[in-house]
Structure 1
């Protein structure tokens, strides 16, 4: 992928967008990996106007530049985008925690050429009424585009089902996929729709709100697509499950119990002889021998210490020592 990007003279963001849009066709190259064939690179390099023509098709603009591109006000352009007439291709979160939607300049120009009546005059009554009710199809349009790209590049039915499960979210997918192991496998294949480049200011709440379906029609379509893809996936192969460890046949058969070993009989004790292992117990009523004294012994002084006589204070000892020296 890196070598293809260098030979196509594209930046990292441009190359990622080119692969998503299908401008640069990539093929699977193992689990979670893709690569670009040499024939595809040669085809693009041999096209007329390379590389500028390819870059023009990948140019993304915001609402302000998009409005200027087709000669309308920014407010009108935003209304057309909220109504779903122009779908965003990318988004990010700015430092004010606001979602900024980006659009393909090539698609904006194509819409203006196909619908010149939408650029001037009053907007349709249905669109004005929907905008007054707070309708905004920008996030939904981006999700539809992104899910379609991932389904197109899915290697099998399980990966396709994982895309629809990611679009529904954890709770929505659990209603369609009751099996715990199947849900875990779908999450392992794709935990969520890739947001692209949301930016350093994007929080988890903003990302989840942007990548999870929230419109009733969108949810219904995703549920239907997930169920259909899941049926095809189950017919192809079941979801992996933890292997049950079975014991060998020899271990499962009951083993014969070992014969009990009886101790050898020893000599029986006589009438006056007690068993050796039986300790002699002292009767509670037996008196204490006279050799045992109940009085506690007096404490003995420690070795090397001199007992202090009564009245022999520290000052007295110093004076005696001084007299002996003189």
Structure 2
């Protein structure tokens, strides 16, 4: 009996335990899972995802472990990223807005400003790419990209959404979860247009994850997170709508959304009419008046009859009648 209970704990690790086994911080482990560097499986007991022991052993036997794994999940902000690429911070921000470097994470600082984080390894690769040299080292940004920046182009949020969407789709186990991953980046109005059926929409929302760092519902942090998570570019919205509609067709074919069964609660019937539904008849005005009058039903409507006098006064009247008679 004890072996049956403890075997799952030997074969699978919670994220916290797995991070200790691999010498990673919890955030580094989550990012490694996000990037597909560490495989996870769903917990059959509904306790979130777990890391198989075989995956821990595979990573431990890798070359240069644990430094090599830690290096692959190292993230930097704007200032450090600029140092990695050998450019001023202002130039680095412009490169990120143009989409030449793609953020992998973000958070809100104490001033509620969005801080974008980038993979250091990717920045080194971009800096070594000869195609990036004109934008990295030219004294002046070329006219085409400069015009886009002047027009307000900023692809950081969109590029992050693309990465995060890929992460959610990798974790999806069935078409409904895939549909929820796509719907996570559309606002409710868009979803209602694609999924007009309220039962399907309710079922879809069960699989629709929120932003990774949302804060309390209705808080300023939550509103900012929702804005970053929601697609705002027409091309991006069009692509998401088409993908969602396609995945929903597969989801409906495989497992339709649950809906009410339509069963009615049986109504008690009189023994003399077993098997016949009892129909409630509207109460007529005269019935209501009779019900509201006092007394027994057989007395309703009769004229009031005189009642014999009682008490001290009646005895006094009877005494006077006897005295008069004598």
TM-score, structure 2 as length reference: 0.74
| Unaligned 5+ runs, structure 1 | 258-275, 293-326
Which residue of 179, 182, 193 maps to 2:200?
182
* Partner Cα separation in structure 2 for residue 256 and residue 232 of structure 1: 45
* Partner Cα separation in structure 1 for residue 120 and residue 314 of structure 2: 113
Match of 1:234 in 2: 252
Which residue of 20, 44, 62 maps to 1:6?
20
Which residue of 73, 78, 86 maps to 2:93?
78
Report deviation, 1:193.
3.8
Q: Deviations over 1:92-131 (max 9, x none)?
A: 1112221111111111111111233431113333211110
TM-score, structure 1 as length reference: 0.74
The verdict on how the C-alpha distance between 1:48 and 1:228 changes in structure 2, with shifts beyond 3 A counting, is same
Q: Are 1:35 and 2:42 matched, yes or no?
A: no
Report deviation, 1:187.
1.0
Higher relative contact order (CA 8 A, sep 6+): 1
| Unaligned 5+ runs, structure 2 | 1-13, 280-297, 308-312, 318-326
Match of 2:321 in 1: none
Report deviation, 1:191.
4.3
8 Å CA contact 1:91–1:197 kept in 2: the answer is no
* Partner Cα separation in structure 2 for residue 18 and residue 196 of structure 1: 21
Report deviation, 1:24.
0.9
8 Å CA contact 1:163–1:192 kept in 2: the answer is no
* Partner Cα separation in structure 1 for residue 220 and residue 64 of structure 2: 37
Report deviation, 1:282.
3.5
Report deviation, 1:253.
3.3
* Partner Cα separation in structure 2 for residue 32 and residue 164 of structure 1: 23
Which residue of 99, 103, 125 maps to 1:88?
103
8 Å CA contact 1:166–1:192 kept in 2: the answer is yes
8 Å CA contact 2:268–2:278 kept in 1: the answer is no
Whose radius of gyration is greater, 1 or 2?
1
Q: Which moved more, 1:236-245 or 1:176-185?
A: 236-245
8 Å CA contact 1:83–1:135 kept in 2: the answer is yes
Relative to its length, the structure with more helix (as a share) is 2
Match of 2:168 in 1: 150
